[in-house]
Structure 1
Amino acid sequence: MVYLSTNPERTRRPITPARLADATLVLSEATWGEHDYTRQQLTRAVQATHRTLRPRIEVENVETALDIAARGHADTIAARGVVRSLAGQLPHELFAAPLRPKLYDHFAIVHRHNTTLSQATHSLIELATARLHHATAPGQ
């Protein structure tokens, strides 16, 4: 996960929770709100500094958040792989800064105990795993 802004000055050094509390942000996953795992991590980090995370704008999907950020209306946070996949499709360049402490997306496949996954499900897991490895590979 990285912090993104059209202003390169805001991305010259890692983004701490205190800086995040002061940022004008657009965050995705509005429907999930505080149930979103990434939002929970951000909220906990900011609260540890005795501050509050208050996004200026909340939208449903990350592509919309990136588009709003690329137009300079707010900064955002997104997975580096998503940003790479949209390279060249945004209206303006976004500069990235790492979050400190680092923040990661976590994924899990959950199924009932004593059940057998279908071949289609196994294929889906293999495809998703390969794409995640490719998106997070160094130099990508």
Structure 2
Amino acid sequence: MNPAEFFYASLDKDVTYLKTGQPILFNSVIDPGKLYDERHGTFKPRLSGYYCFTFTVGTKNTSEAAAVRLEISTRKVATAVTDIPSATASLVISQASNQAIVYMKDTDLARVVIDHHDTGPIIGFGYTNFSGFLMKND
């Protein structure tokens, strides 16, 4: 019997000012197969096959949008961009999500990184997360 091929990772605290290309290091993880590496923010499958990934980013009280992307190895797969709040809002939380079904080799890595610009604070506490699971292996 193969170990589980799924994970759920979220931030349990806010992170600030990540740079373009920097991975989000999710630190609250459910990962029975031990496939998500918290030190590098990467998921490495044991089996080649089709995987479904979902990711969400959240921001709070920032004048900048947060743009993140899902990468498989170095290939850009999907992007999510939060809204920019209005100047009159007192407390604004903005979230953006995306999902992708991709083929991964057992040598590939999946991660969520900051996309095309530096971003302000990204909120944790479940607002920012990353998950994936094997749909069909080779």
Q: TM-score, normalised by structure 2?
A: 0.26
Q: Which one has a larger percent helix, Structure 1 or Structure 2? A: 1
Structure possessing the higher radius of gyration over alpha carbons: 1
